[in-house]
Amino acid sequence: MISCYLYFPLQTGWAVGPANLIKPLSVCQNNTAYTMVTPIQEALAVGLEHELKCFGEPDSFFQQTVQNLLRKRDEVVSVLRETGALCTVLYCTVKE
């Protein structure tokens, strides 16, 4: 769900120490990279509740995201074509 909402946690940091401490720390970090803290879970739940109310409408997050991605795709294709690159754009429709 996180990637659907275009949220990617940014993690920075470092640790220095003996291997017997760094190894468990590394395991812990790898496991926490795929979880969310409670406030983010709550924010996501509120966002989903809002989205359910306006799903399919122009102000829907998913509708806006599709339109933004299509616009960005078209801009990239336009620039590439200006340079002489051959671009194939696949179009698809969603059945309701």
What are the per-10-residue average pLDDT scores of the chain (96 residues)? 48 76 80 71 87 87 86 90 91 64
The secondary element (H helix, E strand) that includes residue 31 is helix 19-32
pLDDT value of residue 5 = 46
pLDDT value of residue 84 = 94
pLDDT value of residue 96 = 52
User: Rounded CA gap, 2 and 8, in Å?
Assistant: 7
Q: Kindly report the backbone phi and psi dihedral angles of residue 28, in degrees, each rounded to the nearest multiple of 5, phi listed first.
A: -65, -45
- Amino acid, res. 59: D
**What are the structural domain ranges in the chain?**
1-54, 58-96
Tell me the whole-structure pTM to 2 decimals: 0.51
pLDDT value of residue 85 = 92
User: Rounded CA gap, 78 and 84, in Å?
Assistant: 10
Which residues are within 8 A (CB) of 77 and not within 5 positions of it... i.e. 6 or more apart? Answer: 87, 89
